[in-house]
Amino acid sequence: MKIVDALLDMNTSPTSELAARYRADFPILNLKVNDKPLVYLDNAASSQMPQSVIDRLIRYQTTQHANIHRAVHYLSEIATREYETARRTLQHFINAREDREIIFTSGTTDAINLVMHGYGRKFIQSGDEIILTNLEHHSNIVPWQMLAEEKGATIRVVPINDAGELLVDEYEKLFNPRTRFVALTHVSNALGTINPIKSMIAFAHQQGVPVLIDGAQAAPHMKVDVQDLDCDFYAFSGHKLCGPTGIGILYGKAKLLESMQPFKGGGDMIASVTFEKTTYNTIPYKFEAGTPPIAAAIGFGAAIEYLSKIGLDAIAAYEHELLNYATEQIITIPGVHIIGNTRTKVAVLSFIIDGVHPHDVGTLLNQEGIAVRTGHHCAQPIMQRFKIPATSRASFAFYNTKAEINTLVEGIHSIQKVFS
């Protein structure tokens, strides 16, 4: 876990407030909510968009829009070029070998469903086993359950300890000759736990089992290198990386993608069509049926360029500093408990306040202009594991400040007063 070690090292050295440099790039952060300055701490659900990405979307819609890969006219050529440029931006962002290993999807959920349909339905049979973890959110559980039900396969689940860490020994014990696939989150959305995926991928490969990584919560917060990780698939979404909604990517090793069946049929994913037979296009187009969200893909590329300029290592270090600061503040408040206490976390702080339901916490914090997520975070198995109905989750981005964390802490104090 090189990334984590680096984070922990950096934690001991002072990091200047990244927010001071980049906050002004985000117009929405000037908003007032209930007459209070917005304190946006729901970044794990969706991050905000900088002006440069907004401007890029406007430029595309104003001067570049046309359908792609079809026409020979000027606008179509420009739109096609920009769309494919965005693909290469994503390729370099995660260090994929080739741009054809990047498939644009509508998001992480769509990407996982693509693998389920394209790989799972072809290669997973009755009696086979699929390994998931207790840390998955619903997007990386439900598609595999649907597949298991259809095929008569079995889901095996890696348990976690009380700190919210995967029990890697138990993971290894789950493997047997029937194990066909591993689907594993890089970072837990509800607890922030960073999983030791590199060694877990290596172990699965020793057994000849491919691994999909759900990177929705990791890609915004740390440098991801798919070649270094050697994962077979990696999925994440644009809107958690300062980009638009409705766009994400699936990275897949070219050989695997080539072996898979198309998930959706339609235009652009074919080489030729007659009523007798259709032959499919090459990757990545085989998996991009129909007109894609062109503007969103180009906006996603712009967001990646923006984040790359700041640097994911700098973002990770600063967010870790924010997390440490917030953790130190919140653990000192009597009656408040943090759920997920591993040292290797991204900047997600899930907590419960004794005697106050998280939904009341969310409503009361909103009165102070503070946006946190409350609920089960589409990860009900984690809530069941900790025997709680829900948590309140503050999740930080590089544009958040320590002053905002102080506002959150004051908010928690005032909630406790209301409920005392």
Partner 1 sequence: MNLKSIYQEVILDHNRKPRNYGTLDNANHHAVGHNPLCGDRIDLALHVEGEHIDRIAFHGESCAICKASASMMTATVKGKSRSEAETLITEFREMAVGNLDLSGPHHLGRLAVFAGVRDLPTRVKCAILPWHTLQAALNSNAIVSTETAEDSIHAANSKA
Query: Least distance from C-beta 44 to partner 1, angstroms?
Result: 17
Measured distance CA(411)–CA(376) in Å, rounded: 21
Does 37 bind partner 1 (CB under 8 A)? Our answer is: no
Burial 244-271, CB ≥16 within 10 A → b, else e: bbbbbbbbbbeebbeebebbeeeebbbe
Nearer to partner 1, 37 or 375 (CB): 375
Query: Least distance from C-beta 418 to partner 1, angstroms?
Result: 6
Does 413 bind partner 1 (CB under 8 A)? Our answer is: no
**Could you confirm whether 231 is annotated as catalytic?**
no
Number of residues that bind partner 1 (CB under 8 A): 16
Does 374 bind partner 1 (CB under 8 A)? Our answer is: yes
Residues in the chain: 420
Measured distance CA(177)–CA(68) in Å, rounded: 45
Site string for partner 1, 387-406 (x = CB under 8 A): --xx----------------
Q: For residue 116, give the DSSP letter.
A: I
Token pair of 110 as six digits: 């769509």
Nearer to partner 1, 33 or 66 (CB): 33
Nearer to partner 1, 326 or 390 (CB): 390
Which region among 55-63, 82-90, 255-263, 368-376 touches partner 1 (by CB under 8 A)?
368-376
CB 39 within 8 A of CB 371: yes
Does 419 bind partner 1 (CB under 8 A)? Our answer is: yes
Which region among 146-154, 284-292, 326-334, 362-370 touches partner 1 (by CB under 8 A)?
362-370
The SS3 of residue 50 is coil
Query: Least distance from C-beta 166 to partner 1, angstroms?
Result: 24
In 3D space, the residue among 379, 241, 391, 269 whose CA is nearest the CA of residue 330 turns out to be 391
Nearer to partner 1, 116 or 356 (CB): 356
Q: How far apart are the first and last CA of the chain?
A: 43
User: Quick count: other Cβ atoms within 10 Å of Cβ 213?
Assistant: 28
Which residues bind to partner 1, rule: CB under 8 A?
A: 356-360, 363-364, 367, 374-376, 383, 389-390, 418-419
